[in-house]
């Protein structure tokens, strides 16, 4: 059975074949350790959209935002008020999930807590506090370099990326889709747009941000309440509870209908930010789920 791997963000400038081999090698090794035949993973597709996403978000915008965060400049922020609100809510959500209080954010920002923390100096303060937590810095900064915002709100970027992914997923033959990080958002949109096609035997989402309100509220492919893609027979979502991107599981209250999402929150992802794809693919429950369907 064909497997389609859908990567996440920050993959620009990389060789698609090299990335594909990294994913395949990690899963094959995990198969071997679990006593499964790695030859079952012979037919693999790896749609690469890293350069397309980077071009859409623009290098200058990305670097200026990263510099802004690093220097803690209080006088600037994203140009769009809507974008600023999106980023602010997402950052504050992440900070609170990691135990950072509004009082700590206000003190770091040098503003009164009574004024509220949904302002740009407070957002920068929250990011600085997140940077001090072990294993959080790289994930927290990189998630908010506008890649997610760009994909969710810019139709041209979304269509280009969706087309690159969609053309690799079979239209009739059964297949498995394994999507990581932002790739899970892409996979959801692509599969929702397929509608009547019901050939995805298994959808696996790893380190997915789909459970974050600010993300699923802006999904362009379906009106609320969100639904699971009709063409998917089984949906398995795995996360490390310390993953800075996968803040929440994908709850049935947010994604209704069939199939019901089976959430697994006990991954022990040993990468620096608990978000690495090789570590997710090596998890025994992830391996068992894929092996059961692919075999």
- pLDDT for position 131: 79
- Domains of the chain (ranges plus CATH)? 2-55+154-294 (3.40.50.1820), 60-150 (no CATH)
Look at residue 283 and tell me whether its pLDDT is greater than 60. Answer: yes
Per-residue pLDDT tens for 238-270? Answer: 999 988 889 899 988 888 888 899 999 999 999
Per-residue pLDDT tens for 92-149? Answer: 888 888 888 988 988 888 866 555 556 778 888 888 888 788 776 644 555 555 788 8
Look at residue 152 and tell me whether its pLDDT is greater than 90. Answer: no
Per-residue pLDDT tens for 157-199? Answer: 899 999 999 999 998 899 999 999 999 999 999 999 886 677 9
Q: Rounded to whole angstroms, how far apart are CA atoms 205 and 5?
A: 10
Q: Rounded to whole angstroms, how far apart are CA atoms 113 and 195?
A: 47
Q: What is the residue whose two structure tokens read 């990011």?
A: 127
**pTM attached to this predicted model:** 0.84
152 close to 87: Cβ distance less than 8 angstroms = no
3 close to 46: Cβ distance less than 8 angstroms = no
- pLDDT for position 254: 82
């Amino acid at each position: 059975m064909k497997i389609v791997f859908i990567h996440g963000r920050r993959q620009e400038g990389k060789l698609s074949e090299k990335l594909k081999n990294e994913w395949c090698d990690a899963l094959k090794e995990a198969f071997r350790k679990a006593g499964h035949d790695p030859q079952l993973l012979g037919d693999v597709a790896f749609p690469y959209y890293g350069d397309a996403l980077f071009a859409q978000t623009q290098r200058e915008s990305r670097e200026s935002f990263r510099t802004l965060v690093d220097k803690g400049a209080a006088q600037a922020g994203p140009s769009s008020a809507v974008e600023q609100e999106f980023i602010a809510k997402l950052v504050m959500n992440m900070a609170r999930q990691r135990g950072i209080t509004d009082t700590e954010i206000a003190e770091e920002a040098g503003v009164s807590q009574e004024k509220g923390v949904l302002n740009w100096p407070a957002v920068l303060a929250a990011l600085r506090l997140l940077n001090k937590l072990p294993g959080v810095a790289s994930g927290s900064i990189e998630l908010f370099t506008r890649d997610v915002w760009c994909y969710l709100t810019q139709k041209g970027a979304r269509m280009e990326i969706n087309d690159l992914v969609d053309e690799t997923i079979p239209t009739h033959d059964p297949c498995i889709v394994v999507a990581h990080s932002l790739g899970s958002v892409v996979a959801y949109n692509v599969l929702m747009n397929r509608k009547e096609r019901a050939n995805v035997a298994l959808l696996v989402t790893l380190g997915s941000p789909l459970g974050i309100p600010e993300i699923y509220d802006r999904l362009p492919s379906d009106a609320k309440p969100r639904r699971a893609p009709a063409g998917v027979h089984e949906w398995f979502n795995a996360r490390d509870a310390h993953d800075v991107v996968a803040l929440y599981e994908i709850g049935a209250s947010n994604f209704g209908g069939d199939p019901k999402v089976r959430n697994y929150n006990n991954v022990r992802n040993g990468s620096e930010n608990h978000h690495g794809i090789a570590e997710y693919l090596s998890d025994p429950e992830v391996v068992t789920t894929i092996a059961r369907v692919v075999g």
